Amino acid sequence: MRLVVEGVWHAFGATAVLEDISLTVDASEVVVVIGPSGCGKSTLLSIVGGLLQPVAGTVAIEGAPPKESLNPITFVFQDFALLPWRSVRDNVAFALEHHALSRAERDRLVHDALARTGLSDFAGALPKQLSGGMRQRVGIARALAVSPAVCLMDEPLSALDAQTREILLEDFRLIWERERVATVYITHNLDEALRLADRVVVLSRRPGRIKDVIAVPIPRPERTSEAAAPELARLHNRLWRLIRDEAIAADRELALH
Amino acid sequence: MATTSVQATLAAATRDGLLRTPIPFRGGGFAPSSNALLAVAGLGSFLVLWELAFAMRWVNPVLLPGPIEVAQALWHLLITGELEKHLSASLYRIGIGWALGAVGGVALGLAIGLSTAARSIGIPGVSALFPIPKIAIMPILILWLGIGEASKVATIGLGVFFPMAVATFGAIDNVPRNLVRMAQSFNVPFAQVVRKVLLPGALPGILSGFRISASIALLLVVAAEMIGADRGIGAFVMQAGNLMQTDQLLAGVAVLSMLGLLIGIGLSRLERALLAWR
Ligand SMILES: Nc1ncnc2c1ncn2[C@@H]1O[C@H](COP(=O)(O)OP(=O)(O)OP(=O)(O)O)[C@@H](O)[C@H]1O
Ligand SMILES: [Mg+2]
């Protein structure tokens, strides 16, 4: 099974936003998309997830998704998108309630998802009682509960403070090592990209085109080790060179609007 | 560590004979709180002043009876069953009129919040009809529905319908779209998105619509009963006025005040129970 994006173009009215985006994401691969503000990253993810119709191009899953998958393409949102009137448990259950599952089966899936994200002790809490990091864990638990084939994450850590982000980044890595869900992950943060990605897709400023695709050939668990530091620094520089001018130009364009 | 060094600097500065200017406090005020004692004292002095005005004949006692006379009139209304007769008639009209108007208004507001057709037709329609004082159309409603209960209930219902429709579609529009997208991203069917996302999300706005429309219902029931009824608090107040029974009149007004207060408390309870998640 793999995700195939082919020749996607998009425009909002007269504003061209995406130009000829093609990429594939293999099973259990993490593809990180970076690019300057407003270049169309979120637009691309919405198109991939079927929440927005592109002007041209197609998105497809090639091959059958795992049959236990209740929602093959699943989002994790930047602002968590939790229902504030539902407890943690019921927020996770929300993703399952419309499926033909027995009560016991649903409870088991919710219970499992909470256990896998370290939320079991908070099952009865309301979102307002949780820290930002905990709320995003609920977002991840809800996504894992439906056994996605592809997980789409739009800046899932950008609403969090730096320390929480670091902690969650490590959690993500561990969860993803274990679950092996194919993922498209959007971020502004190059370090985040280099910690998680198998490949980094660099978009140009708006209209976003694929400027380069860079593989990160270091096994994920080793990326925090001293030995990996020089190679990661090299990759970081290379990414920064690719987006620096784009980011500056995009910034100026925004200022002129 | 840091404080000791600051203290050391200050001490050094004074030793050198330098001027030491304390920073004046300037963060006071702008934080009023409620004091129960003051509240009781305020209400008490109002009653005392009122009784004094009556006892000292500052005003014509026929025009302004004293608080004790009004309380006696109220007590009399209570024990003779007059109060129950009038109050039950008013409550019946408010209850039916408000319920019909609220159900209709929420339904229209929901439709406007969900469908382009309903929105395109509904918003201009509501905008045109909302500002009409509903009491102005009561004569035509009486012609259509007769002088009985139906025209009064309809007046209240219409008065409640429009603000409820406006409150509801505003509340639906204010539910974060991201929650709807989230639900769609999990393939939650349309009806369940409405029931599990939009309606609970709109509940705070709908409840504040309840508050506004309840006070409109109270206003309209009194007005409608003054126009044509022999029962109801409005009718009672009107009759008392015609007969110059100002103590009875003010007793009726006091009942309305308490009724409004009770409705407000009831709605606050409801809000606290239903919106604990906020
Ligand atoms: N619904 C919309 N209508 C019109 N223009 C839009 C809409 N959504 C996004 N845009 C515009 O399209 C461009 C791309 O937006 P998008 O949100 O995809 O960018 P992004 O790369 O995710 O930006 P950021 O890094 O700030 O998250 C932006 O210029 C934005 O202003
Ligand atoms: Mg974005």
Confidence check: pLDDT of B269 > 70: yes
pLDDT, position B1: 45
Any domain includes A250? yes
Residue pair B92/B155 in contact (Cβ under 8 Å)? The answer is no
Q: Could you tell me if A19 and A141 lie in one domain?
A: no
Among the three residues A148, A171, A203, which one is the final residue of a domain in this structure?
A148
**Mean pLDDT over residues B17-32, rounded?**
89
Q: How far apart (Å, rounded) are the C-alpha atoms in residues B68 and B45?
A: 14
Q: Note the pLDDT tens digit of each residue in B197-209.
A: 999 999 999 999 9
Average pLDDT, chain B: 92
pLDDT, position B118: 96
**Mean pLDDT over residues A157-180, rounded?**
89
**Token digits of residue A39:** 């270049």
**Mean pLDDT over residues A145-172, rounded?**
92
**Mean pLDDT over residues A214-243, rounded?**
94
Q: Could you tell me if A127 and A192 lie in one domain?
A: no
List of residues 6+ apart from B265 with CB closer than 8 A: none
pLDDT, position B15: 66
Protein residue with least CA distance to atom 25, ligand 1: A37
How far is C-alpha B154 from the geometric centre of its chain's CA atoms?
20
Task: Indicate the SS3 state at residue A186.
Answer: strand
A206 lines ligand 1 (CB under 6 A): yes
Q: Could you tell me if A58 and A154 lie in one domain?
A: yes
Sorting pLDDT into bands at 50, 70 and 90, what band is A256?
low
Gap between the terminal Cα atoms of chain A:
43
Among the three residues A118, A148, A178, which one is the final residue of a domain in this structure?
A148
Q: Could you tell me if A157 and A52 lie in one domain?
A: yes
Residues of chain B neighbouring A126 (CB-CB closer than 8 A): 277
- Looking at the complex, report in whole angstroms how far the Cα of residue B62 sits from the nearest Cα belonging to chain A: 56
Q: How far apart (Å, rounded) are the C-alpha atoms in residues B164 and A243?
A: 52
Q: Could you tell me if A242 and A188 lie in one domain?
A: yes
Confidence check: pLDDT of A37 > 90: no
Sorting pLDDT into bands at 50, 70 and 90, what band is B11?
low
Confidence check: pLDDT of A24 > 90: yes
Q: Which residue has the higher pLDDT, B238 or A253?
A: B238
Q: How far apart (Å, rounded) are the C-alpha atoms in residues A137 and A146?
A: 15
What's the domain range around A114? 78-148
Sorting pLDDT into bands at 50, 70 and 90, what band is A123?
very high
Any domain includes A35? yes
Q: Could you tell me if A85 and A174 lie in one domain?
A: no
Q: Could you tell me if A218 and A137 lie in one domain?
A: no
A40 lines ligand 1 (CB under 6 A): yes
Residue pair A183/A176 in contact (Cβ under 8 Å)? The answer is yes
Q: For residue A23, give the CATH number of its domain.
A: 3.40.50.300
Q: Could you tell me if A17 and A130 lie in one domain?
A: no
Query: Given the DSSP bridges, would you call strands A2-12 and A56-62 parallel, antiparallel or unpaired?
Result: antiparallel
Between A90-99, A177-186, B174-183, the lowest mean confidence (pLDDT) is in A177-186
Give the homologous superfamily in CATH for domain B92-225. MetI-like (1.10.3720.10)
Sorting pLDDT into bands at 50, 70 and 90, what band is A69?
very high
**Mean pLDDT over residues B257-261, rounded?**
95
Any domain includes A186? yes
Residue pair A11/A55 in contact (Cβ under 8 Å)? The answer is yes
pLDDT, position B115: 96
Q: How far apart (Å, rounded) are the C-alpha atoms in residues A21 and A211?
A: 10
Residue with tokens 């207060």: B261
Residue pair A210/A21 in contact (Cβ under 8 Å)? The answer is yes
Residue pair A126/B277 in contact (Cβ under 8 Å)? The answer is yes
Q: Which of A94, A110, A146, A147 to mutate to test the interface with B (most CBs of B within 10 A)?
A: A94
Any domain includes A13? yes
Order of strands, edge to edge, in the sheet holding A15-26? A15-26, A2-12, A56-62
Sorting pLDDT into bands at 50, 70 and 90, what band is A255?
low
A37 lines ligand 1 (CB under 6 A): yes
Instruction: Please answer yes or no on whether B187 and A51 come within 8 Å at the CB atom.
Output: no
pLDDT, position B62: 87
Among the three residues A148, A178, A209, which one is the final residue of a domain in this structure?
A148
Q: Could you tell me if A59 and A172 lie in one domain?
A: yes
pLDDT, position A139: 96
Element (H, E) at A61: strand A56-62
Q: Could you tell me if A37 and A90 lie in one domain?
A: no
Any domain includes A71? no
Q: Could you tell me if A251 and A165 lie in one domain?
A: yes
Listed by start position, the domains of chain B span 92-225
Overall number of domains in chain A: 2
CA of A170 to the centre of ligand 2 (A): 23
**Token digits of residue B271:** 């809000």
Q: Could you tell me if A135 and A187 lie in one domain?
A: no
